[in-house]
Structure 1
Amino acid sequence: MWRDFSLSAIAAGFVAVLVGFASSVAIVFQAAAAAGADQVVMASWILALGLGMGLTCIGLSCYFKAPVLTAWSTPGAALLVSSLPGLSLAEAVGVFIFAAALSLVLGLTGWFEKLSAKIPLQIASAMLAGILFNFGLSIFTSLQQDLWLVGLMCVTYLISKQYLPRYAIPLVLVVAVLYASLQGQLSLAQVHLDWPAPVWIWPDWSLSAFIGVGVPLFIVTLTSQNIPGLAVFKSSGYHLPVSPLINASALTTIVLAPLGAFSINLAAITAAICASPEAHTDPAKRYSAGVAAGIFYLLTGVAGAAVVALFAAFPATLVTALAGLALLGTIATNLTLTTQAGPNREAAVVTLLVTVSGVSFFGIASAFWGLVAGLLCVLVLKLPKKQVV
């Protein structure tokens, strides 16, 4: 296994963890605070999430020899921010277990695998392209905010892609960090080594909390994380059994929920980083990027607040531009699949546009509605045609 590692794979794993933590850890803290958690409990949440994601990334990537990444549900955390006030921490833990148990039922019965098998690759690729589209745009919005930093990153990326394509993202990261440090843009004053202590909270069961918070959390996680996560595997050429992936992430959530793991599920955006050619030129060896991400997740969980503060020290423009550059190849691949000639092309374009639009109904994100719109188009366009005389 160690021979399959490369600098580019390790860098892809680090970038995936950096993007995942830096972009949404603040929302996780808000969700914990909404349930009445203090600083000690918040550190326990990060510990549980880091351990859960780290172990599942390493275990699943090694077992399936594919870059399987798990993550917390950022939309789920956002939902919890507005839904947990009024609930105790014990009731919140009960909600986490209930939502994960619903996912486990889908996995054990095989319903999720049957559902995902019905989604055409072109539609799944369009949904994924729509999800990642704004990350590509963020390169240039960040360029407007910080011309010299992001401009230097873009130039480094282009030159590296020409001469050292395997190491393009590592070189961009190194150049960006060096420039930011020289310009005084890295605020390391708040970084202190502080080991988190696990805080076990026994669950309390509330039917109203299950219906009002647990079911929405389950739906949001299913539609915004697990389905897009499977789309990443499909578009990257990895044909993996779905049920074991869902079962493993759901069981991990159930076990670690009393410590604060509110939702561990398939990753989408960060998985795309590790499944891209930039992670490794050989698809059979890209699983090492998933293993590297798992190791970095473990380190973030064990180091707790210190690592979170370190990630927060990076300029926001650096993180967003780095994510966009790391996903450029994946965006291009999925746009190609979306627009290729075939009976599903129009349906795929509809999926792309609805997903990019950001529309949300009933609290469910646009990725789900893009998928629904695309599948409806597929069904309608397959209706038998009547000849007009």
Structure 2
Amino acid sequence: MRRFFADFSGQSAAMGIFAAIVGYTSSVAVVINGMLAVGASHEQAASGLAILGVTMGFTAIGLSLVSRIPISIAWTLPGMALLSTLPVPAGGYSAAVGAFIVTGMLIVLAGLWTQFGRLVTRIPGPIANAMLAGILFKLCLAPFDALHETPKLAALVILTWLVVGRFHRLWAAPAALLVAVASMSFAGPQHAQTFSLPALAWVSPRFDWHTVVSIALPLFIVTMASQNIPGFAVLSTYGYEAPARPSFLATGAASAISALLGAPGINLAAVTAALCAGPDAHAQPERRYPAAVVAGLVYAVVLPPVSSIVITLVSASSSPILIEAAAGLALTGAFSSSLFGAMRDEQQRLPALATFLVTASGFSLYGIGGAFWGLCAGLVIHLLYAVRRSGV
């Protein structure tokens, strides 16, 4: 700790606070939407959101202090988008929690067995991006669905996002969320709302193979391909070599354990990693890790009570469409990036297009969702064309 206090600075503290607030407010709507979509009650969603803050915070603090690298931790935004597109599993939220535990254990396995982790990274980038784009597609339509259901309030949310984004892109999604929550509060039922600290709710897991294939496998793949790998890449850009095995073991184990309290899971961050690892955190690279530690403290201590307030406002609303709209706006950047990554390689365009269309269609077979079948379709076409190009 003496080394930490010697490296600590007001600049790194300010950037850590900024990274935590932006990381949380820019995507919390997606997380709430995802948990509610797969059957979480409002009490379970409040518990999951609160424990997510705690696990993100303390995991980031521990990894950053041990490695002296600004390792930022976040929830899996693409994974939460995936949940938002799925129907409630047959076993309810208990079955979803069982899938969250399996996902966490798969990440632990990737840390223990390096060959398994490498197998995931061998999935062609265009196909992985296409699956993510297919997951995000319907969610990005939510703002326009909201325009149909509640045109004035939805237009206000969208206009806020556009205007704020014109001047400061990072604050666009948080501003849209703030307007959405305020609109739901004023437009909802006029009865007294009481706020209290979130109560942790135990969720007994249920393991069902349909749910594991529909949720756990796609969730693991998008977490690895769209969060963990980019997280390492961002740190590498700033000259840091983050330890892969401890990172996977810590985030995977924390995800599996916190799932019992309703939390969907955590992983390496990308956007907030850039904030904490960049020169704005400190001119000297070796003194930037306190920014990730401060961000972790904000996640663990300050934001869980905020979760209770947000969930209370959502539960008091007769329709969550504005939260869905805010979530869709927050995901537009990720959708455009993933769609571009899917289609830019001409040789991989057909497998990627098949993956995107099957995933976006919501196709389901044997109780297994479209993300899995989209991935299968893309890989089959990829292998078929690879064989043809090789002349076999």
**Considering the TM-score relative to the shorter chain, is it more than 0.5?**
yes
Which residue does the alignment assign to 1:230?
224
Which of 134, 149, 158 aligns to 2:153? It is 149
Indicate the SS of the match to 2:346.
coil
Tell me whether 151-160 or 240-249 shows the greater mean CA deviation: 240-249
Q: How many percent of aligned residue pairs carry the same amino acid? A: 28
Tell me whether 319-328 or 69-78 shows the greater mean CA deviation: 69-78
User: CA distance change for structure 1 residues 130 and 175 in 2, over 3 Å: closer, same or farther?
Assistant: same
CA contact (8 A) 1:51 1:301 kept: yes
Q: CA deviation at 1:386?
A: 9.1
Indicate the SS of the match to 2:187.
coil
User: CA distance change for structure 1 residues 385 and 296 in 2, over 3 Å: closer, same or farther?
Assistant: closer
Which residue does the alignment assign to 2:188?
185
Provide Cα deviations, 1:145-171, integer angstroms capped at 9, x if missing partner: 111111122222223333343432233
Distance 2:203 2:334 in 1: 40
Which of 137, 141, 147 aligns to 2:141? It is 137
User: CA distance change for structure 1 residues 28 and 232 in 2, over 3 Å: closer, same or farther?
Assistant: same
User: CA distance change for structure 1 residues 332 and 153 in 2, over 3 Å: closer, same or farther?
Assistant: same
User: CA distance change for structure 1 residues 221 and 54 in 2, over 3 Å: closer, same or farther?
Assistant: farther
Which residue does the alignment assign to 1:105?
109
Which letter does structure 2 place at the counterpart of 1:248?
A
Indicate the SS of the match to 1:69.
strand
Which residue does the alignment assign to 2:165?
161
Q: CA deviation at 1:261?
A: 3.4
Which residue does the alignment assign to 1:11?
22
Which residue does the alignment assign to 1:378?
382
Which residue does the alignment assign to 1:327?
331
User: CA distance change for structure 1 residues 262 and 336 in 2, over 3 Å: closer, same or farther?
Assistant: same
Distance 1:184 1:117 in 2: 46
Q: CA deviation at 1:29?
A: 4.0
Which letter does structure 2 place at the counterpart of 1:247?
L
CA contact (8 A) 2:127 2:342 kept: yes
Which of 28, 31, 46 aligns to 1:20? It is 31
Aligned length: 357
User: CA distance change for structure 1 residues 194 and 332 in 2, over 3 Å: closer, same or farther?
Assistant: closer
User: Is residue 2:74 matched to residue 1:69?
Assistant: yes
Provide Cα deviations, 1:210-245, integer angstroms capped at 9, x if missing partner: xxx265555445323121122323568547776544
Q: CA deviation at 1:144?
A: 0.7
CA contact (8 A) 1:196 1:304 kept: no
Distance 2:355 2:99 in 1: 32
Tell me whether 118-127 or 227-236 shows the greater mean CA deviation: 227-236
Tell me whether 376-385 or 131-140 shows the greater mean CA deviation: 376-385
Provide Cα deviations, 1:35-76, integer angstroms capped at 9, x if missing partner: xxxx8x998777655533543466568866465423597589
Distance 1:101 1:172 in 2: 35
User: Is residue 2:92 matched to residue 1:79?
Assistant: no
- TM, length-normalised to structure 1: 0.70
Distance 1:369 1:44 in 2: 32
Q: CA deviation at 1:118?
A: 0.8
Distance 1:134 1:94 in 2: 25
Which residue does the alignment assign to 1:89?
none
Which residue does the alignment assign to 1:261?
261
Q: CA deviation at 1:134?
A: 1.1
Q: CA deviation at 1:319?
A: 1.0
User: CA distance change for structure 1 residues 345 and 53 in 2, over 3 Å: closer, same or farther?
Assistant: same
The unaligned stretches of length 5 or more in structure 1 are 33-38, 86-91, 204-208
Q: CA deviation at 1:21?
A: 2.4
User: CA distance change for structure 1 residues 252 and 156 in 2, over 3 Å: closer, same or farther?
Assistant: closer
Q: CA deviation at 1:311?
A: 4.1
Distance 1:340 1:138 in 2: 26
Which residue does the alignment assign to 2:239?
none
The unaligned stretches of length 5 or more in structure 2 are 1-11, 237-241, 282-288
Tell me whether 155-164 or 126-135 shows the greater mean CA deviation: 155-164
RMSD: 4.7
Q: CA deviation at 1:384?
A: 3.9
CA contact (8 A) 2:57 2:295 kept: no
Which of 315, 323, 329 aligns to 1:312? It is 315
Which letter does structure 1 place at the counterpart of 2:249?
N
CA contact (8 A) 2:27 2:330 kept: no
Q: CA deviation at 1:16?
A: 1.9
Which of 199, 210, 234 aligns to 1:196? It is 199
CA contact (8 A) 1:132 1:327 kept: yes
Distance 1:342 1:170 in 2: 36
Which letter does structure 2 place at the counterpart of 1:79?
P
Distance 1:381 1:115 in 2: 20
Which of 343, 360, 364 aligns to 1:360? It is 364
User: Is residue 2:7 matched to residue 1:2?
Assistant: no
- TM, length-normalised to structure 2: 0.70
User: CA distance change for structure 1 residues 264 and 143 in 2, over 3 Å: closer, same or farther?
Assistant: closer
Distance 1:104 1:155 in 2: 43
Which residue does the alignment assign to 1:172?
176
Indicate the SS of the match to 1:343.
helix
Which residue does the alignment assign to 2:252?
250
